[in-house]
Chains A and B, each alone.
Chain A
Amino acid sequence: MNISLSITKNIHDWLFSIMPESVASIVEMVLIGLLYLVIFAILGLFLVLLERRIAAWFQLRIGPNRVGFQGLLQTMADALKLLSKELTGTTKADKFLYNLAPYFVIVSSLMALAVIPFTKEFHAFDINIGIFFLIAISSIGVIGILLGGWASNNKFALIGAMRSGVQTISYELSVALSLLTMIIITGSLQLSEIIEIQKNGWLIVQGHIPAIIAFMIFMISGTAESNRAPFDMVEAESELGAGFHTEYSGMKFAYFFLAEFINMFIIAAIAATVFFGGWLSPFGITESIPWLGVFWFLGKTFVLVFLMMWFRWTFPRLRVDQLLTLEWKYLLPINLVNIVIMALIVWLNLTIQF
């Protein structure tokens, strides 16, 4: 019997025994919601710390290592500081939209997190259109960025927001198409089924050449989608100051900041799930201990997160027109051809199955 499953089952039985069914299910939903908020906060804070330590490692520095063991509480302290800070804003800002914007960004990444399968049982929202839902919900975030940039009444913020709109809309195509390439193999949009199919070999192995191309395109466009360097047009520190969140301070700024890191995690998590078998262990070596799936999943995800950090701290930033050239002239045509190749491979049964 699985430990995590037995705990959740016990809580479930206990809740249903002490209160009527309808109330109990609402309480369960709230509990799961709170659990995900906690995961969100911890993941966000941990990723920020990880980024800072990795950046320091690349840059011949030590990085934060004073607060807590090896600086583990540093980001916690930063978050507390941001919480206690005054929320400043421009007087001529569109107050309603200005205050609304951060919630769009954070809600979209929080909702995307709900669909991610951490392990077989640890999967809050396993819907049959999982991938579609992820793509749809992650594009809501750009509305927040556009609103924030527009409502700040700041020209730098506006340029940042417009760049973001252009960039996210363009790269969304590549994200969706590269995932679509893989869906040709799986024949299902449901994330749990996608993982089941990979018991015969990870999709990147099953789909060999077109899968590797799709993976590379997904990582490039995923990095662009989460507005990280070398595609950080939106913030472009040396060009626009801070970009769309120039006028935000305190916790509202922290929302944008955390959402960026969670988005990076989500992109890496999708890649790990779709291409590298999610919580499946390689060759099923730990199949008998299902809860170890969480570690396999997080391990694969963090390797990809590290890859994205590696990009960020090595490459210079692209210019905005080069960014669009890369998408529309290279990635999109390659992607379309790749889908046809993948379809042929699946049709002719050329996939590699163990």
Chain B
Amino acid sequence: MQETTIDKSFKTEPYQINMGPQHPATHGVLRLVLTIDGEIIKKVEPDLGYIHRSIEKMCERDSYQQIVHLTDRMDYLSSHINNEAVCLTVENALELEIPERVKYVRTIIGELTRIASHCLWWGVMGMDVGALTTYFYGFRDRELINDIFEETCGARLTMNYNVPGGLMFDIHTNFVKRIKDFIAHFKTKLPEYDRLLTGNVIFQKRTKGVGILTKEDAISFGATGPVGRASGFSCDVRKHHPYSALDKVTFNEALKTEGDTFARYQVRIQEMWESLSIVEQLIDNIPEGDFRVATKAVIKLPKGEFYQKVETARGELGVYVISTGAKSPYRLKFRSPGFSNLSLLNHIAVGGKIGDLVASMATLDLVIPDIDR
């Protein structure tokens, strides 16, 4: 009797805390239910649904031109690439011949979107590990890209520049010049990122060997994008299934084998260099021609199933359409990279500290509206 009471008084037990839906590290309305023992994480349960807008269901109601606009609101940091995915699906289904000019412009803007997204990620990554200054450095360069977008298509974030059949309007006359200026500018600024954060001893201590994901796990969790590539899983859609003008450029797929937080960080930094080189190869050779091919006012896809995948800044985005020949799809499913990448959070965070969870979550680069469609 006496023994049990003594035993009870010295027992510790894990407890649960809610990280989110309003929390600085979850970057949106993601709720993580953490089971922790002191500082050590025992379990991470993501709880979704706080920003669900039933985009997939809305797609069943809308015409194909309208669906393009909905995809902006999924992964808002690669909105142009999302739009491109839907447009490519429709164009492939209709077997439209797209002008070369459109392909070039789409790829250039897509790669610039990737750089802008990674700039924002880099700033936020620094902020998550406690270096607040990085945020403003990342935003400084992202702002220039957004200015180029604004001049060309009128929007900075939710661009809606793509339409099935081409682009909404032709590029601005300053487009080429401003992008060239940006490339020259960014080539001097990207090494600054390394000087400020990559080489920092504290940063390396915080990220190396933290949140390790093996190649096997990456494949079985469906991790794509920089997360998969940091684990040695070659999954770049741009390389394996090139779309638009990506078959006309040479670039290296950023691959690392360590699979830790620092590897994911390095992959993204390297991707910025690669994207820069892709833009550089295309920007001088934009062919003359139409910026759009005529489509019917009401697009009706032939009966059947269509799938198209593209590489967004976060990984592989798949668009799966089942059409019955009507003006809107019978069923449309997005395979979003964020959802798969979130699913492995529990796997890589368990056993680490709260600080490790935040650091690994930062390199998963989650955009919550992409997870909760």
Contact = CB atoms under 8 A, between A and B. Distances in A.
Interface of A: 55, 58-61, 155-156, 159, 229-230, 232, 236-241, 313-322
Give the size category of B's interface with A. Answer: 20 to 34
Given A319-B353, A320-B39, A155 B15 contact: yes
Nearest to A315: B202
Given A237-B24, A316-B197, A320-B39, A60 B15 contact: no
Nearest to B197: A316
A61 B132 CA distance: 13
B353 A316 contact: no
Interface of B: 15, 17, 23-25, 39, 126-133, 135-137, 140, 196-197, 200, 202-203, 205-206, 353-356, 358
Nearest to A61: B136
Contacts of B136: 59-61
Contacts of A61: 136
A313 to B, nearest CB: 5
Contact of B203 (A156, A239, A316, A321): A316
Contact of B132 (A59, A239, A318): A59
A241 B23 contact: yes
B1 to A, nearest CB: 32
Given A60-B140, A239-B25, A315-B200, A232 B130 contact: yes
Given A60-B140, A316-B200, A239 B354 contact: yes
Which of B15, B130, B132, B353 gathers the greatest number of chain A CB atoms within 10 Å?
B130
Contacts of A320: 39, 353, 355
A58 B136 CA distance: 9
B130 A238 contact: yes
Contacts of B17: 155-156, 159
Contacts, number: 81
22 contacts: A55-B132, A59-B133, A155-B17, A156-B17, A236-B355, A237-B24, A237-B130, A238-B358, A239-B25, A240-B354, A313-B132, A313-B133, A314-B133, A314-B196, A315-B130, A315-B200, A316-B131, A316-B197, A317-B355, A319-B206, A322-B205, A322-B206
Nearest to A321: B353
A168 to B, nearest CB: 17
Nearest to A166: B39
Contact of B202 (A230, A236, A237, A239): A230
Contact of A318 (B25, B205, B356): B205
Contacts of A58: 133
Nearest to B25: A238
A313 B126 CA distance: 11
Nearest to A312: B132
B24 A316 contact: no
A237 B133 CA distance: 14
B130 A236 contact: yes
Contacts of A314: 131, 133, 196
Nearest to B128: A238
A179 B355 CA distance: 32
A328 to B, nearest CB: 16
Nearest to A231: B130
Contact of A239 (B133, B135, B197, B358): B358
A239 B355 contact: yes
